Amino acid sequence: MWKLFNLIFPSRCPSCDRLTDSLKYAPFCIDCWQLLTHNPDTKRCRTCGIALPPDYDFKCITCIKESPHYRKIYVFGDYEGALKAAINLLKFEKVRRLSRPLGRLLSCLPLPPVDVILPVPLSKERLILRGFNQSHLLSHSLSRNFSIPLEPNILIKPRDIQPQSLLSRANRLKNPKGAFSVISPGSELLHRRVLVVDDVMTTGATINECARVLLRAGVREVYGAVLARTKSD
């Protein structure tokens, strides 16, 4: 059936633009899917997930100097190659169908037991401009795959801030401060373990600020899950 459908309505891989011939890897071709899922055993900081140099064992120098508000960030891969291309297609070219296969990649992570999943929110202005929140789409896949409740409206971003990708490291660390709020937490978050989901992590300032406001609202522990981490912050 797939071969007949693909013959009538040929589908192209969103990463390399070649014709795809298998439903198993859709919407990617087999080569790009293998590139996406090839996850080398990179030595990472046990707290923030950044790739470590050979002479470091457990933590990066940043996390040694100052512990973040979150317990740990789980990272699927580095922000490069096919993974970077796929994330950018979802995020900037609005290829929303990529959210499911990318969500499956997040589901491969050895995540801790948590009570609720929260996507990193967008401001209303950014949400209107983009039309969707990619972190919400990825969170939905995780929620469905692990049967963990998804609460997309508890953590909000009342004001827009400059995109982190446009700023220096020093400004990235300061930029998210005060940008997030928790709406009527009540018993929904009290003493709960929370997983905050985002697509890409650079300095970790965004998830760290989310963790700070969540802990103030009574959350017990905050973990993070991201598709990709830049090799340097």
Question: 224: Cβ–Cβ under 8 A, 6 or more apart, which residues?
Answer: 49, 70, 72, 73, 74, 195, 196, 197, 198, 201, 204, 207, 211
Asked whether residue 64 falls in the same domain as residue 20, the answer is no
What are 71's two structure tokens? Answer: 């317990």
Asked whether residue 29 falls in the same domain as residue 87, the answer is no
Between 143 and 28, where is the model more confident? 143
Cβ–Cβ under 8 Å, residues 72 and 223 = yes
Give residue 2's domain range. Answer: 1-38
Confidence tier at 133 by pLDDT (50, 70, 90)? very high
pLDDT at position 233 is 64
Residues 180, 196: Cα–Cα separation, whole Å: 13
Asked whether residue 140 falls in the same domain as residue 221, the answer is yes
Specify which of 81-85, 101-105, 174-178, 212-216 reaches the highest per-range mean pLDDT.
Answer: 212-216
pLDDT digit string (tens) for 37-64? 766 678 899 999 999 887 777 899 999 9
Task: Give the pLDDT mean for 178-184.
Answer: 83
What are 203's two structure tokens? Answer: 């300095």
Asked whether residue 7 falls in the same domain as residue 107, the answer is no
Asked whether residue 55 falls in the same domain as residue 112, the answer is yes
pLDDT at position 53 is 83
pLDDT at position 227 is 95
Asked whether residue 22 falls in the same domain as residue 49, the answer is no
Mean pLDDT over each residue of the chain, to the nearest integer: 84
Asked whether residue 53 falls in the same domain as residue 9, the answer is no
pLDDT at position 116 is 96
pLDDT digit string (tens) for 110-125? 999 999 999 999 998 8
Asked whether residue 119 falls in the same domain as residue 104, the answer is yes
Q: At what angle do helices 30-37 and 99-106 cross, to 10 degrees?
A: 30
Give the CA radius of gyration of the chain: 18
Asked whether residue 161 falls in the same domain as residue 120, the answer is yes
Asked whether residue 104 falls in the same domain as residue 163, the answer is yes
Number of structural domains (the chain) is 2
CATH of the domain at 155: 3.40.50
pLDDT digit string (tens) for 138-162? 999 999 999 999 999 999 988 765 5
pLDDT at position 1 is 44
Asked whether residue 123 falls in the same domain as residue 29, the answer is no
Between 104 and 175, where is the model more confident? 104
What are 22's two structure tokens? Answer: 């298998």
Asked whether residue 21 falls in the same domain as residue 103, the answer is no
